[in-house]
Homo-oligomer: A and B are copies of this chain.
Amino acid sequence: MDFSSFLTSLITSFVIFVVLMAFFAWLSSRPGNKVIYYPSRLLKGMDPFDGGSYASRNPFVWIREALSSSEQEVITMSGVDTAVYFVFLSTVLGILVLSGIVLLPVLLPVAATDKAPNTSSDTTSNGTFSDLDKLSMGNLAEKSSRLWAFLIATYWVSIVAYYLLWKAYKHVSALREAALMSPEVRAEQFAVLVRDIPPGPEGQTRKQQVDSYFKSIYPDAFYRSMIATDNKEVNKLYEELEGCKKKLVRAETIYAESKTTGNPEGTRPTNKIGFLGLIGKKVDSIEYYSEKIRELIPKLEAEQKATLRDKQQAAALVFFSSRVTAASAAQSLHATMLDTWNVMEAPEPRQVIWTNLTIKFFERQTRQYIIYIIVALTIFFYMIPITFVSAFTTMQNLKKYLPFLKPVVKIAAIRTVLEAYLPQIALIVFLALLPKLLLFLSKLEGIPSQSHIERAASGKYFYFTVLNVFIGVTVGGTLFATFKTIEKHPNSLLPVLAASLPGNATFFLTFVALKFFVGYGLELSRIVPLIIFHLKRKYLCKTEADIKEAWYPGDLGYATRVPGDMLIVTITLCYSVIAPLILPFGVVYFGLGWLILRNQALKVYVPSYESYGRMWPHMHMRILAALLLYQLTMLAYFGAKKFYYAPLLVPVIIATLIFCYVCNKKFYGFFRYPALEVASHEMKETPHMERIFRTYVPPSLCSEKVEDDQFEDAMSQVSRAGSFA
């Protein structure tokens, strides 16, 4: 890529960004769009703007608001997880800024003024050398003593990273500590999840078994237990009922609306009761759904009773009246065999994956390893499914399997386009499906909470992006492009690599710029959700609930966002010394990201769970992995430059490993388990245990009529033994 095409690409991206910003400034000031640009504030019952009308509003005031917002505000609006995400952004920003301040003024002149012409450019057939590459390490002669500056720069970047990561880990620990010791009652702090309950003695229900087990160990603090039940049937009925209720409301709304327009009787809405409402008998909707609801309610109630009584599974939630006891129970071994009575922290009520609770210990282990293998294969051979899809989507096969497409395919123009783009479309579809696939695979592992699934998927996605995008483009591209040269002179591999690394830097500069200009432009302007919302409101939404569902913002989406950022961290770190010009781009990416996401966190996204910063150790580890990759790259590159002092980089690699080990040992424990000194902090009020218990009851089992104490079912109250002191 030469300099002019680099500039073209940069300018194009920038223009798109400016256009999107203009869109945002215009659209966000229209009152009708406030549900798109301020949904989080609206849901919390706050005024979208703190005072001021729409008209008088400066379109850039959001920048001031984002900059002046405190961490506490972020926690209040969007939870600890989001605050931790900002710690991540600002830590990386800090590393890049501190590196840039030293590296740019020092390394650029050192590289640009080297008089020795680069000899290795002769060996590559089509030189990728441009004006930009003169500012990189590639411009230095082999064995040049100027390489010392780059060696010291490598150390500087590492030391800055250690310092800021250490500070960040401490800070995140403190955030987590503050959140966990908060005097407010949080249900999950009073519960533990019990899995792998062994078969009980004859004639005892699961409920009795669990109660007697935990009562004997915790005579004072045990409150009651909730046995996981097989909710498949009851969920089906419940969803059917809810669907009918929704449709009834919708039919009533339509009927009410039809009344006003000169037709005082109105038109009673009708629907067909066959497949997808397309075929079958036509019925009056209001009557039909009312009748169905009347039928379903007793059915559901009967099923609820049957589920609670007969479908008790080998997993349970156990509630304690003390936070410390719950925290201590969650990390203690209860039975002598680890595959029975496995106790762990309870997930938040909203993130419990009920279907995963009952998977047995060794089945979980087996699933985990099988999925690791599948993911590893996916990462390494991700081209294979695409090739498979491409093969299937060739013209011949399409005609064979989907004969109705024949007339379309026969048109020459369409045919050419399809033949050219089908494989690429398959690739794009596969790449777009990958996060979903990884989430699905992670869920299959048997993980009991949503946040954990997202962490697991995010980790897998990180390896995928780093291996396929970064290493793939750098090493793979270089190797393929110069395969013939290498075949002829095997010894020229290193100089070729050395010449290509800076060349790829320009490609990545463009990539990062595209990512932040277009990516963050789309993020802030929310063009896509805006269009979808307006379309939905116009054509689909009938009731208030429908409209709310249409604009409900969703969460930040860690599972894909964090690996995306991580890829930029990896690229920027790896090229920070080789081509320091990438540093400003990285700074802009994380600076702009921080600013725009701050706005989104405060005003748009609504967290779907809270894990109190559990994502941090993953982020920390992956930043360190990027740092290690960077140091190894530098070691190889200094080797390629035939710099005799390259082994001086070995200590910094060892230092990274030690740093990683120390951080893990010192901090990680608290992210796995709740520390007792934190849990022992005093509460604001005596916890209302019944309310805590209720938050965990799945909606399909909530009923006013099913009384707890009537029979020995999965939820019934236990007569508490008198506590002894």
Q: Which residues of A contact B (CB under 8 A)?
A: 173, 176-177, 213, 216-218, 220, 324, 327-329, 331-339, 341, 361-362, 365, 662, 665-670, 672-678, 680, 723-725
A331 near B331 with CB under 8 A, answer yes
A725 to B333, CA, bound (A): 25
User: Are A338 and B665 also in contact (CB < 8 A) when A331-B333, A332-B328, A670-B333 are?
Assistant: yes
When chains A and B are docked, how far (Å) is the Cα of A172 from the Cα of B331? 24
Name the distance in Å between A191's Cβ and chain B's nearest Cβ: 17
> Are B665 and A339 closer than 8 Å at their CB atoms?
yes
Q: How far is the CA of A497 from the CA of B662 in the complex (A)?
A: 45
User: Is the CB–CB distance between A324 and B217 below 8 Å?
Assistant: yes
- Could you jot down 8 A-B contacts, CB within 8 Å? A173-B336, A217-B324, A217-B677, A332-B332, A336-B675, A338-B668, A362-B662, A725-B725
Give A213 to B678 CA distance when docked, in angstroms.
11
17 new A-B contacts, CB < 8 A, other than A216-B680, A328-B332, are A173-B336, A173-B337, A177-B336, A217-B676, A217-B677, A218-B324, A328-B328, A332-B673, A333-B669, A333-B672, A333-B673, A334-B675, A336-B678, A337-B670, A338-B665, A338-B667, A724-B725
- Identify A220's interface contact among B220, B328, B336, CB under 8 A: B220
Residues of chain B contacted by A673 (CB below 8 angstroms): 332-333
**How far does the Cβ of A8 sit from chain B's closest Cβ, in whole Å?**
52
Q: Which residues of B contact A341 (CB under 8 A)?
A: 677
Q: Is the CB of B217 within 8 A of A670?
A: no
Tell me the smallest distance from the CB of A670 to a CB of chain B, in Å. Answer: 4
Q: How many copies does the complex hold?
A: 2
List of B residues within 8 angstroms of A670 by Cβ: 333, 336-338
A241: shortest Cβ distance to chain B, in Å?
42
Least CB distance from A407 to B in Å reads: 55
Min CB distance, A676 to chain B, in Å? 5
- Cβ-defined partner of A336 (8 Å) among B329, B331, B335, B677: B677
Tell whether A677 pairs with B365 under 8 Å between CB atoms, given A328-B328, A725-B220, A725-B723. no
Q: Which residues of B contact A678 (CB under 8 A)?
A: 336
User: How far is B333's CA from A668's CA once the two chains are assembled, in angstroms?
Assistant: 11
Q: Chain B residue with minimal CB distance to A180?
A: B336
Report chain B residues within 8 Å CB of A662: 362
Interface centre among A324, A328, A334, A335 (most CB of B within 10 A): A328
Q: Is the CB of A677 within 8 A of B177?
A: no
Residues of B within 8 A of A218 (CB): 324
> Bound state CA distance, A333 and B336, in angstroms?
20
Q: Are A666 and B332 neighbours in the complex by a CB distance under 8 Å?
A: no
* Closest B residue by C-beta to A341: B677
Interface contact A676-B327, CB-CB below 8 Å: no
Q: How long is the Cα–Cα vector from A507 to B402 in the complex, in angstroms?
A: 74
Separation of A365 and B220 alpha carbons in the complex (Å): 38
Chain B hits for A666, CB < 8 A: 337-339
- Shortest C-beta distance, A301 to chain B (Å), equals 37
In the bound assembly, the distance between CA atoms of A670 and B337 in angstroms comes to: 7
Alpha-carbon gap, A341 to B680, bound state (A): 15
Cβ-defined contact, B332 with A217, below 8 A: no
Residue numbers in B under 8 Å from A669 (CB-CB)? 333, 338
Could you tell me if B667 and A337 are in contact, using CB atoms closer than 8 angstroms? Answer: yes
Rounded to whole angstroms, the CA-CA distance of A674 and B334 in the bound complex is: 8
CB-defined contacts of A213 to chain B, threshold 8 Å = 677
Nearest B-chain residue to A213, judged by Cβ: B677
Establish whether residues B327 and A332, one from each chain, have CB atoms under 8 Å apart when the complex forms. Answer: yes
Q: Taking CB as reference atom, which chain B residue is nearest A672?
A: B333
Nearest chain B CB to A470 CB, angstrom units:
32
Q: Shortest distance in angstroms between A333's beta carbon and chain B's nearest beta carbon?
A: 5
Q: How far is the CA of A337 from the CA of B669 in the complex (A)?
A: 8
Q: Which 6 A-B pairs have the closest CB atoms?
A: A725-B725, A723-B725, A338-B669, A336-B670, A217-B680, A333-B673
In the complex, chain B residues whose CB is within 8 Å of the CB of A680: 216-217
Chain B residues positioned under 8 Å from A723 (CB to CB): 725
